[in-house]
Amino acid sequence: MKQTFAFLALTTALVSPAHAEMLELEKDQLTFGFIKLTDMAPLAVAYERGYFLDEGLFVTLEAQANWKVLLDGVIDGKLDGAHMLAGQPLAATIGYGTEAHIVTPFSMDLNGNGITVSNEVWEKMLPHVAKMDDGRPQHPISAAALAPVVEEFRAEGKPFNMGMVFPVSTHNYELRYWLAAGGLNPGYYSPENVTGQINADVFLSVTPPPQMPATLEAGTINGYCVGEPWNQQAVFKGIGVPVITDYQLWKNNPEKVFGITAEFAQEYPNTTLAVTKALIRAAIWLDENDNANRQEAVEILSRPEYVGADAEVIANSMTGFFEFEKGDKRDIPDFNTFFRHNATYPFYSDAVWYLTQMRRWGQIAEAKDDAWYDETAKKVYRPDIYLAAAKILVEEGNANEADFPWDSDGYKAPTPAADIIDGIPYDGKAPNAYLDSLPIGLKGAQTVEGSEVKG
């Protein structure tokens, strides 16, 4: 953590507690991009509640058509930063897809996604789903209940298609994790074949988040993994049933990040600190007093310039509940978490998990040693900037010192088996041992050649 202490020392030299808010900004007019999902909330809240203005920042927020357009906008400078898929800065930095050095000083949230299937598929799954005493389905639901349906489709000569939002999205990896935990192969990538459908039992393809319900209703896909409010939208429209949330898949899993180029962070260090401060304040507001501000957040997000879905739909997940079928609303208070559980701290172990999933499915074509995972995580995730911003907020009285992991080495404690659907624990400091423990996926020196896994 030498980098952390150096950055903190620099910050202390720049500002005294009495004037901590007076950072000398290198750039004060900024444009940030986002996708219309509820987890963009820290950006909307920082804008609407004046936290950006408190830092002397004049921010414009612009919705983007899709994740690729958003990433390209950050890389070419049309956007100064953006709400990003956590896999995007990592993939760009290692050169998978578009190559650019992107960093994140701020993680935007935990949890927030779900997996939804069509009504037809749900009816076929039901005989294989355990029931509670009151007759409702027992959650979490394993993909093992989907396996007979996939086999039925295969026997009829029909592919089983599911949507996810981007090849390096959390949604892709969560959907793959769920399928593999239930014994279904979601397919591999190779340098020559980037469809991700090599040897697949279930065929995954990209669908932009707001288009998921309509694509499901049209029958083009049989299910999808997406963030809110697009799972709840399927319930409200009566076209599909969410079968599991990512909180049930992996308790308090990392989700989106705020991404900027490494060049931006280097050229505008005080501006980067100021942005991070504003976002931390927004995250605190979103979670404080047991989510007391969530209804106001729902009203903000429902506006057309942000998510633009009905407030009732957004509130279903943002206010501590999740509705699986009409009338089957269950308490999941941490489904959307923005500050609790150190949600905003950019942990290296979160980055390493994404990298293991890239390797597991062949997006990283060759084996890497454990040191490579650590080094790559540290190129992208910047807890030093985060803690420097948090330190100023504490000095200002805008945050509590006890709410930040000052002494962390950047790695969370290993996730216990009980918190993950397949019962396999995750330790970010041992990525190769973790990969070897997963029943489906590349291990050791294995590679994908043609349609075969070799090694």
pLDDT at 16 over 90: no
Is-contact 185 179, C-beta < 8 A?
A: yes
Neighbours of 425 (CB within 10 A): 15
The dihedral formed by the CA atoms of 30, 36, 42 and 44, expressed in degrees to the nearest 10: 60
pLDDT band for position 22 (50/70/90)? confident
**Do the beta carbons of residue 196 and residue 187 sit within 8 Å?**
yes
Token readout for 362 is 């062949």
Is 449 a residue whose pLDDT tops 70?
Answer: yes
Angstrom CA distances, 297 to 1, 227, 287, 422, 442, stand at 35, 17, 10, 34, 42
Average pLDDT over residues 406-430: 97
9 or 44: whose pLDDT is higher?
Answer: 44
Quickly list DSSP for 120-175: HHHHHHGGGS-B-TTSSBPSSPPGGGTHHHHHHHHHTT---EEEES-TTSHHHHHH
Residue 337 to residues 57, 298, 391, 417, Cα–Cα distance (Å): 26, 14, 22, 21
Given a cut of 80, is residue 6 above it in pLDDT? no
pTM, two decimal places: 0.94
Sign of CA dihedral 333, 334, 336, 339: positive
Q: Which domains does the chain have, with CATH numbers?
A: 2-110+255-346+381-403 (3.40.190.10), 113-253 (3.40.190.10)
Q: Which of 346, 335, 343, 351 is nearest to 283 (CA)?
A: 343
d(CA 181, CA 142): 7
pLDDT for residue 2: 37
| Beta strands 58-63; 102-107: pairing state | unpaired
d(CA 338, CA 209): 20
Q: Is the pLDDT of residue 1 over 80?
A: no
> Is the preceding omega at residue 140 within 30 degrees of 0, hence cis?
yes
pLDDT tens for each residue of 339-366: 999 999 999 999 999 999 999 999 999 9
Query: pLDDT for 384-416, tens place per residue?
Result: 999 999 999 999 999 999 999 999 999 999 999
pLDDT averaged over every residue in the chain: 94
